[in-house]
Chains A and B, each alone.
Chain A
Amino acid sequence: MNITKEELKHIANLSNLYFSDEELEKYTKDMSSVVEFANELSKIDTQGVEITTSILGEYNIFRKDEVKESFDRDILLQNAPEQGDGMFKIPKVIG
């Protein structure tokens, strides 16, 4: 199955990835072969088979909603590419 360049642009946009025209060519070609490989699955009959939602049986994990010590803000901010006034800095979002 062939993926078109337009389809790849759409998927890239959903993935928050940007590609140059040259890269678009390459990734479109790669994706076509990978999707073709994934299409093998259409050959197997799964009529009446349930989907797997949990590997070791279904159960929920509950815990008490307790106040606990969390991470130190300054330490966490040390990994931020840009920060100020104890906050992460990003470009202006609202016009």
Chain B
Amino acid sequence: MDITTLTIHEAKKMLENGEITSYELTKAYIDRIKKIDPIIKSYVTVCEDRALQQAKMIDEKRKNGEALGSLAGIPIGIKDNMCIKGVKTTCSSKMLENFVAPYNATVIENLEKEGAVILGKLNMDEFAMGASTERSAFFPTKNPWNISKVPGGSSGGSAAAVSADLAIATLGSDTGGSIRQPSSFCSTVGLKPTYGLVSRYGLVAFASSLDQIGPITKDVEDCALMMNVLAGHDSRDTTSANLEKLEYTQFLQNDVKGLKIGMPKEYIGEGINDEVKSAILSAADKFKSLGATVEECSIPVTEYVLPTYYIIACAEASSNLGRFDGIRYGYRAKEYSTLKELYEKSRSEGFGEEVKRRILLGTYVLSSGYYDAYYTKAQKVRTMVIEQFKQAFNKYDVLLTPTSPITAYDIGSKTDDPVAMYLSDICTVSINIAGVPAISIPCGFDSDNMPIGMQLIGKHFDEKTLLRCAYTFEKNTDFNSMKPEIGGI
């Protein structure tokens, strides 16, 4: 048996029963990374020594009968925009290519407190700006289901690694779909929690009113296990919600009887690929057969969410990325004579094309004379989005949509037209604008055997209903058990 195929809950049992050690499990992943990752290219940094050391320590503690955390000995991968003390945090950018984080992100502290073993840092679109991981300044990541296709993004490394058994679970970050869309493209489970549920301290900021950290896992039970550890108040993130800590695993019920599910028609209309649409409609039928009610509903403002998203996200990014000035950390140009020249050259050489495009758009919409027409307008439409989701949730417990209007596409086929790329975010961005939680779970395959994901959207802080709904679907279908054959290996 190949132990890298285990889920967290399966591995936990085997570790507890003494059938495997954490060292064996971690070593199996390191070996598999060495063998398979030269093809998939999901890791930017592999922390081999650090990981094996951590695993040995956990094994030692277990042997001595010491108290162990809920993720003791479980090898996890981290998107390369979260800080691990003493490890490079590159954001897949030339700007941070040599940046060594001087502190741990709160999510890393929480994972390590529970005994998790950190395998390494995963590739992403530069500064999380992109939806294909082709915008990494280092190399594109490949989709394990077909290595000529993109894994999605921006957390493409995180989803590809879980899908190819190169980590038992990973962390991603999601500003406009960056956990959910790659999960959909790679057939993994990805949750974007409610805004404020998981601390962003130590996450390199992209758009602060939209960013959330969340888990990418092999199944829904693992997602709940990860949320047990990730969710919680942190005074170092002022947007962190101060709520009672929950055990998310208790909501894993195989039962959706009486649950009211809404299907916003704007998300299954024009522009949605037919195979994706038919998989979503089959999922709706499945929920009905399991005792839920499913009805069509409407979120009319959907037509305007993409420009709203890009204005808000780029405005915030232009401000957040102002800190990269070539002085305190990050890339500095070789030749300059004045301070202004140092700033301009360091930023122009350090940032990639898409990042510069977004900084320009963000600066433009915030500049004098354009602020009201773009930024103020977008913040008003944002209010309408929040209101329309609230109204939908007065009637429904959960909303069901595709995660992406399309399945994974060929590497290099969409990089030339920035607007065409933005349009494929249609199903995911509203969720960040409204601050609500959403999970993507596998629900089918297209005729090329590429995965299709469905998105379940919940009320603020109602992750429990999402988990219950996702768990029930998973337990009553087979999509989750499918595995990619990586280039015939």
Contact = CB atoms under 8 A, between A and B. Distances in A.
Q: Do A and B bind each other?
A: yes
Interface of A: 3, 8, 11-12, 14-19, 27, 30-31, 33-35, 37-44, 46, 49-53, 55-56, 61, 63, 71-72, 75-76, 78-82, 88, 90-91, 93
A38 B361 contact: yes
Contacts of B343: 16
Contact of B102 (A39, A41, A53, A79): A79
Given A38-B310, A78-B102, 8 more contacts: A33-B419, A37-B310, A49-B383, A50-B383, A52-B382, A56-B196, A56-B241, A80-B329
Interface residues of B, number: 71
B437 to A, nearest CB: 12
Contacts of B338: 91
Contacts of A91: 336-339, 342
A18 B348 contact: yes
B325 interface: yes
A34 B310 CA distance: 9
A81 B327 contact: yes
B379 to A, nearest CB: 4
B383 A52 contact: yes
B307 A37 contact: yes
Interface in B175-222: 195-196, 209
Q: Considering residues B301, B303, B381, which has the most beta carbons from chain A within 10 angstroms of its beta carbon?
A: B381
Contact of A56 (B308, B364, B460): B460
30 contacts: A8-B360, A11-B367, A14-B367, A15-B360, A33-B418, A34-B419, A37-B306, A37-B422, A38-B310, A40-B306, A41-B307, A41-B381, A44-B303, A46-B377, A46-B381, A49-B380, A49-B383, A51-B376, A51-B379, A52-B386, A53-B379, A55-B196, A56-B196, A63-B235, A75-B102, A79-B328, A81-B326, A82-B332, A91-B337, A91-B339
Interface of B: 98-100, 102-103, 195-196, 209, 235, 238-239, 241, 301, 303-304, 306-308, 310-311, 318, 322, 325-332, 336-345, 347-348, 351, 356-357, 359-361, 363-365, 367, 373-374, 376-384, 386, 417-419, 422, 434-435, 460
B357 A34 contact: yes
A93 B339 CA distance: 7
Contacts of B196: 55-56
A41 B377 contact: yes
B317 to A, nearest CB: 11
B304 to A, nearest CB: 5
A54 to B, nearest CB: 8
B306 to A, nearest CB: 8
A37 B363 contact: no
A66 B279 CA distance: 55
Contacts of A8: 360
A55 B195 contact: yes
Interface residues of B, dominant DSSP: helix
B304 A31 contact: no
A49 B238 CA distance: 27
Q: Considering residues A3, A34, A49, which has the most beta carbons from chain B within 10 angstroms of its beta carbon?
A: A34
A92 to B, nearest CB: 8
Contacts of A43: 304
Contacts of B422: 37
A56 B196 CA distance: 8
A17 B329 contact: no
Contacts of A16: 322, 325, 340, 343-344, 347
B357 to A, nearest CB: 6
Contacts of B381: 41, 44, 46, 49
Contacts of B347: 15-18
B241 A79 contact: no
Contacts of B340: 16
Nearest to A31: B360
A44 B306 CA distance: 13
Contacts of B328: 76, 79-80, 88
